[in-house]
Amino acid sequence: MPPGQLAELLNQLDGRRGASGGARIVPTEQAVAASGVAQTISGNIAASVQQAQAQTQAAGQPLAFNVASAQTNVTPQSTSTLAVDCVTQGTRPPQTVTTTPTQPVTPPLQVGAFSGVLKSGAFPIPDQTSPDNIPFAGGNVTNGTFSAGLGSAGSISFPVTARSMNTFSSTGTSPNGPVSGTSFLTANGTYLYANLSDSNGNSLFVSSGQPVPASTLAPTGTAQVFAFNVSQAPSPPGSNIPFSLNDDTTCTNPTVSPYFIVAPASNAIGAATGPTARTLRASIAFNSNGSGQSSTVVVQTGAIGQLQSGGAPIIGGLIRGVETEIPGVPSGSETIYSHASSLVDANGNSLYGKSTISGFALDQTRITNPSPTSTCCVVTTFSPSSATETEGVSTTPFPETYGFAQPAVAMPVPAGIGASRTTQTLSGFFGGQMFTTATTPNNGTYPIVGVMAVQTDATQNTVFAAFGTNLTPAATGGVSSIGMTSGDPQNATRSAFIDDSHFGAVEGSFQQINGQTLVVNGDSSQAAKLYFVNAGTAPPPTSLLPAGASYCQCQFLQWGYWGGDLLTGDSTDSNISRIDHAHVNFWEAGPLTPQTDLNTLAGQGFTGTYNGHAIGSVYNNGSTYVAAGGFTGTYNFATQNASFSITNFDGLNFSSGTKKVPLAGPFYFANFGGTASGLTGTLNGAFYGPMAAETGGNFTIQSLSTAAPYNAAGIFAARR
Convert 492-555 into a string of H (helix), E (strand) and C (coil): CCCEEEEECCEEEEEECCCCEECCEECCECCEHHHCEEEEEEECCCCCCCHHHCCCCCCCCCCC
Q: For the chain, give every domain's residue range.
A: 36-99, 114-209, 214-584, 585-719
Q: Break the chain down into helix, strand, coil percent, rounded to 5.
A: 10, 50, 40
Q: For residue 7, which phi and psi values (nearest 5 degrees)?
A: -65, -40
Average pLDDT over residues 249-276: 88
326 has a pLDDT exceeding 50 = yes
CA–CA gap between residue 34 and residue 28 (Å, rounded): 10
pLDDT score, position 330: 72
Q: What angle do CA 9, 12, 16 make, to 5 degrees?
A: 160
| Amino acid symbol at 651 | G
- Asked if 559 contacts 537 with a C-beta cutoff of 8 angstroms, the reply is no
pLDDT score, position 357: 96
Of 9-13, 241-245, 548-552, the one with minimum mean pLDDT is 9-13
Of 175-189, 270-284, 457-471, 581-595, the one with minimum mean pLDDT is 175-189
CA–CA gap between residue 556 and residue 686 (Å, rounded): 12
* pLDDT tens, position by position, 331-367: 778 999 999 999 999 999 999 999 999 999 999 999 8
Does residue 706 sit in helix, strand or coil? coil
pLDDT band at 71 (very low <50, low <70, confident <90, very high): very low
Q: In the CATH scheme, what architecture does the domain 585-719 have?
A: Beta Barrel (2.40)
* pLDDT tens, position by position, 82-110: 233 322 333 333 344 344 444 444 444 44
CA–CA gap between residue 599 and residue 603 (Å, rounded): 6
pLDDT score, position 533: 98
CA–CA gap between residue 479 and residue 473 (Å, rounded): 5
Tell me the pLDDT of the chain averaged across its residues.
83
pLDDT score, position 170: 61
Q: Which residue has the higher pLDDT, 155 or 125?
A: 155
pLDDT band at 9 (very low <50, low <70, confident <90, very high): low
* pLDDT tens, position by position, 486-543: 998 778 789 999 999 999 999 998 899 999 999 998 899 899 999 999 999 999 999 9
State pTM to two decimals.
Answer: 0.83
592 has a pLDDT exceeding 80 = yes
Highest average pLDDT, of 83-87, 115-119, 240-244, 657-661, comes from 115-119
* pLDDT tens, position by position, 409-460: 999 999 999 999 999 999 999 999 999 999 999 889 999 999 999 999 999 9
Which residue stretches of 101-211 are H helix?
A: none
Percent of the chain with pLDDT over 70: 78
Average pLDDT over residues 266-281: 92
* pLDDT tens, position by position, 31-53: 556 555 555 555 555 555 555 55
DSSP string spanning 190-208?
A: -EEEEEEEETTS-EEEEEE
231 has a pLDDT exceeding 90 = no
CA distances from 332 to 338, 394, 700 (A): 20, 10, 23
pLDDT score, position 711: 93
CA–CA gap between residue 467 and residue 432 (Å, rounded): 12
63 has a pLDDT exceeding 50 = no
Average pLDDT over residues 238-255: 76
pLDDT score, position 329: 78
pLDDT score, position 90: 33
CA–CA gap between residue 662 and residue 14 (Å, rounded): 60
CA–CA gap between residue 663 and residue 660 (Å, rounded): 10
